[in-house]
Amino acid sequence: MRILVTGGAGYIGSMLVPALLARGHQVTVLDTFAAGDTFLATSCADENFDAVRGDTRDMRVVEPLMAKHDVIIPLAALVGAPLCARDQIGATSLNRDAVLDIAKRVGAQQRLIFPTTNSGYGVGEGNAPCTEDSPLRPVSLYGTTKVEAEKAVLDSGRGITLRLATVFGMAPRMRLDLLVNDFTWRAVNDRAVVLFEAHFRRNFIHVRDVVKAFIHALDNYDAMRGEPFNVGLSEANLSKAQLCERIARHVPGFTYLEAPVGEDPDKRDYIVSNDKLEATGWAPDHGLDAGIRELIKGYRTLRNGRFANV
- Taking only the tens place, the pLDDT of each residue in 245-301 is 999 999 999 999 998 887 777 778 999 999 999 999 999 999 999 999 999 999 999
The pLDDT value given to residue 34: 87
For residue 228, count CB atoms less than 10 angstroms from its CB and return exposed for 0-12, middle for 13-18, buried for 19 or more. Answer: buried
The pLDDT value given to residue 299: 95
CA quadruple 78, 82, 85, 90: dihedral, nearest 10: -20
d(CA 32, CA 43): 17
Q: Could you give the C-alpha distances from 300 to 123, 174, 189, in angstroms and in order?
A: 36, 14, 9
H or E element: which one contains 6? strand 2-6
Q: Taking residues 175-196, what's their average pLDDT?
A: 95
What are the counts of helices (DSSP H) followed by strands (DSSP E) for the chain?
12, 12
d(CA 263, CA 38): 38
Cα–Cα nearest to 102, from 58, 136, 132, 50? 58
Highest mean pLDDT among 36-40, 49-53, 116-120, 135-139: 49-53
**DSSP-derived secondary structure for 38-85:** -TTGGGGG-TTEEEEE--TT-HHHHHHHHTT-SEEEE-----SHHHHH
Q: Taking residues 86-104, what's their average pLDDT?
A: 97
Q: Taking residues 193-199, what's their average pLDDT?
A: 93
The residues with which 203 forms a beta bridge, in sequence order, are: 237
- pLDDT tier at 81 (50, 70, 90 boundaries)? confident
Q: Is the pLDDT of residue 306 over 80?
A: no
Share of the chain above pLDDT 70, in %: 98
Q: Is the pLDDT of residue 309 over 70?
A: no
Q: Could you give the C-alpha distances from 296 to 173, 184, 245, 279, 291, in angstroms and in order?
A: 17, 7, 15, 33, 9
- pLDDT tier at 199 (50, 70, 90 boundaries)? very high
- pLDDT tier at 148 (50, 70, 90 boundaries)? very high
Domain 2-169+204-234+272-285, CATH: 3.40.50.720
Q: Taking residues 36-57, what's their average pLDDT?
A: 95
- pLDDT tier at 307 (50, 70, 90 boundaries)? low
d(CA 142, CA 92): 8
The residues with which 238 forms a beta bridge, in sequence order, are: 202
Q: Tens digits of per-residue pLDDT, 100-119?
A: 999 999 999 999 999 999 98
